[in-house]
Structure 1
């Protein structure tokens, strides 16, 4: 049994507390190198307990138009690479009180080499990584890598997964289980089926004692307030990214921080259901 790094322990402690944690997502290198860290610092000051830094990828099946465009700008206009993500993680972890995570697809991890990726991520001060498209054939090797590094093995749990698939995912998870609020891509702005989300989170809780968080479709503070009673954390991405797509400068960063503050306030006093 490997000892977890301090950031991973910090995440465990925060998710065990009430009210639910607010996690805010931003791709590294967006809206620009350097300004990404400044924005993350502002998001933490606005109430984000967790900062989920994205490793930009050109073929991201989970991402809708806003995050896809942010990834494109980061990759094409600013040349962001995996090494730059570690720098963003390190600078953010050193300058905020928030817990820092990385969200990435498998291909960049595979290309970098999983063990090397996990060890460098831990050295940068992260708590773990979420890989929503992790191939089942690679799961054991990745689990060994994060255990050696002392990171959390965060798991994405699709609503459409079978009981056996969920059992396999939850059996290897630490840190959190990510239960999407909708089955579509990020950036969904419609209403949420709160009853269906509640049913799914209870299904996960029967399989595992790892905390459940939700995101994908939590597009307004009002929706965050509605989902908060059913989860240990709420993840917000596209509403923050849209502020920076409109204004990729410090004014946009300030607007993103104001938006994060509204989400933070909404889940501190969750609605009774």
Structure 2
């Protein structure tokens, strides 16, 4: 969801955000898109946003409209500690998950807390830093994923740094979910109009075909 200050995002998503806001994006546009997607796809839908837009819109109102639009949960990577209780009460009251993102290298106590507070899955960063990075994935990523799974009993997704079918395949060998954002937006941005849409769809198909099936 476009946000004026996307603190975790690199230049690709920042450019897309600026374009959306300049074009007049409003919160209702995101919920309309969510409703269309959830109506036409059997997959569970997650909305990713920062806390700023949620706080401005109203946590209870945001949670209700997300649920009404068909979302199974909301990812809030920068959820402030002092707002967690308010947000969790709002999401639990309507029956949707809050997907939390631990810091890279989070200790056992923090992972246990996240497992108790969040739901749906854990969003594990593939590397420290901003989205869109092409730096190597963290050397201890597989160990971190397994530790998060053991401590929380939740599926674990990996995003940030998963920019190619090769990386997606490597991550899928041990993670439950492979998360790709910047690479798809980059493919869309590099070609005008319908060609950009087709390029992003082609990359999505390549990413999907690359995944290791682990019987989950």
Smaller-chain TM-score bracket: over 0.9
Q: Give the superposition deviation at 1:72.
A: 0.5
1:25 equivalent in structure 2: none
Deviating runs (4+, > 4 A) in structure 1?
none
Matched residue of 1:230: which SS?
coil
Residue by residue over 1:158-178, the C-alpha shift from the partner in whole angstroms, topping out at 9 and shown as x without a partner, is: 114343333222211110100
- Whole-Å separation in 2 of the counterparts to 1:96 and 1:158: 31
Where do 1:30-179 residues align within 5 Å? Answer: 55-76=1-22, 78-179=23-124
Deviating more after overlay: 258-267 vs 160-169? 160-169
Where do 1:10-25 residues align within 5 Å? Answer: none
2:210 equivalent in structure 1: 266
2:187 equivalent in structure 1: 243
Please, which of 172, 175, 186 is the counterpart of residue 228 of structure 1?
Answer: 172
- Whole-Å separation in 2 of the counterparts to 1:65 and 1:198: 27
Q: Is the 8 A contact 1:225 1:269 kept in 2?
A: no
Q: Is the 8 A contact 2:127 2:136 kept in 1?
A: no
In structure 2, the CA distance between the partners of 1:205 and 1:96, relative to structure 1 (3 Å rule), is closer
In structure 2, the CA distance between the partners of 1:159 and 1:247, relative to structure 1 (3 Å rule), is same
Residue by residue over 1:40-72, the C-alpha shift from the partner in whole angstroms, topping out at 9 and shown as x without a partner, is: xxxxxxxxxxxxxxx101211110110110011
Which runs of 5 or more residues in structure 2 are unaligned? none
* TM-score between both structures, scaled by the size of structure 1: 0.75
What is the total number of aligned residue pairs between the two structures?
214
* TM-score between both structures, scaled by the size of structure 2: 0.94
In structure 2, the CA distance between the partners of 1:111 and 1:148, relative to structure 1 (3 Å rule), is same
Matched residue of 1:102: which SS?
strand
Matched residue of 2:134: which SS?
coil
Q: Give the superposition deviation at 1:99.
A: 2.1
Which runs of 5 or more residues in structure 1 are unaligned? 1-54
Q: Which has the higher strand share?
A: 1
Q: Is the 8 A contact 1:173 1:210 kept in 2?
A: no
Where do 1:153-232 residues align within 5 Å? Answer: 153-193=98-138, 195-232=139-176
